[in-house]
Structure 1
Amino acid sequence: MKTRTRLVVAVAALLIAIAVLVVPLPPRIRLDTHILTVALIQRPPTAVFDYVTTPAHWPAWHPSSLAVSGAVDHSLDTGEQVTEEFSVAGRRGRVVWTVAARERPDKWAIAGDIDGRAAGTVTYSLTSTVNGTRFQREFTYRAPSLWFAILNWAVLRARIQSESDTAVLRLKSRMEASPQP
């Protein structure tokens, strides 16, 4: 094979490999990540629910939440939206959250949208315990491309899990420090 032909084949193979990595995955291929964090909080479920579902409080306990705007001064109901400025795993951006489910004081879920693309969901599940509340936070997001899936596996998932663990520990500390956080 001539040198020029080999070069053309190598460049074509490289371009195909790059395309496979960055082209959006088809909807039938689901590469979802679930970040789960749990804490036992010595406060009643209604107090924890009302606090965590009021966006104005997010920057006080979640290190990824930089600022919130819109409907931020109350516990959000199904269909309400809020905009959040975030920094997750070193990436800054803006997400619009829409409340997808609300069953006070047991469950609350929001679905995120970044520039018209689904950005994941956050679900809070609260269970009454003898000493207060078992609070569970689950962040679920989909890999939009094979490249993202590889990066997520190698770096992002661990960083996001760490940020989520820190957030829930801060929430627990804040909720237990004062009867009225």
Structure 2
Amino acid sequence: MAETTLTNEILIAAPPEKVFDYVSRPDLWHEWHPASKSAVLPRVPLQRGDAFGEIITVTYPFIKISRKTEYRVTLSERAKVWEVQGSSSLFSLTIHYDFFSEGATTRFRRTLTYRVQGLLGWFEPVVVRPKMRRQSAFALSNLKRKLEAG
């Protein structure tokens, strides 16, 4: 199956350091990303090369998929860039975050690149991708609300 890339951007009224320190904590992803249920970290902050696991749950019509995903941090430069690569029995993915300072705000860009494996891959364009698009946009609006609320 082919790779799919989804990019979302949002302006957050917070400095890049604050945004970075929050979003680079996968144990807090469940607070703003609807698919994230839990993550266990070896330390905080995570550094390049660190590995961690996360439970991801996505509900589609007639099916709920919950999988443990194993990640490795591949890039980490505070307030500039952060990236992880992960895989489970159903997919492989890269989550890449960019942070751009714009005065007192941060332009936060989240790029998700994924490849669905197995039978679900055949339904990726009509079932998986639309769900991922909605979920990614919703996650960033949650993130903005969370960080701007204090």
TM-score calculated relative to the size of structure 1:
0.74
Deviation at 1:149, TM superposition (A): 4.2
RMSD: 1.8
Percent identical pairs in the alignment equals: 29
> What's the secondary structure of 1:38's corresponding residue?
strand
Query: Are 1:177 and 2:149 counterparts?
Result: yes
CA distance 1:87–1:53, change in 2 (3 Å): same
Structure 1 distance, partners of 2:45, 2:105, is: 20
Query: Are 1:154 and 2:121 counterparts?
Result: no
Q: Which residue of 2 aligns with 1:13?
A: none
Q: Which residue of 1 aligns with 2:35?
A: 64
1:143-174 Cα distance to aligned partner (Å, 9 max, x none): 446x5443011111000111111111101000
Q: Which residue of 2 aligns with 1:15?
A: none
Deviation at 1:118, TM superposition (A): 6.2
> What's the secondary structure of 2:47's corresponding residue?
coil
More helix by share: 1
Structure 1 distance, partners of 2:107, 2:121, is: 31
Q: Which residue of 2 aligns with 1:99?
A: 73
Query: Are 1:137 and 2:93 counterparts?
Result: no
Higher CA-based Rg? 1
More strand by share: 2
Query: Are 1:108 and 2:78 counterparts?
Result: no
1:115-139 Cα distance to aligned partner (Å, 9 max, x none): 5x86111000110012310001111
Unaligned runs of 5+ in 1: 1-24, 26-30
> What's the secondary structure of 1:76's corresponding residue?
coil
Structure 1 distance, partners of 2:139, 2:51, is: 21
Determine if contact 1:88/1:160 at 8 Å carries over to the other structure. Answer: no
Deviation at 1:64, TM superposition (A): 0.6
Q: Which residue of 2 aligns with 1:76?
A: 46
TM-score calculated relative to the size of structure 2:
0.89
Aligned length: 146
Structure 2 distance, partners of 1:167, 1:75, is: 22
1:8-50 Cα distance to aligned partner (Å, 9 max, x none): xxxxxxxxxxxxxxxxx6xxxxx11011111100000011001
CA distance 1:169–1:176, change in 2 (3 Å): same
Query: Are 1:52 and 2:23 counterparts?
Result: yes
Unaligned runs of 5+ in 2: none
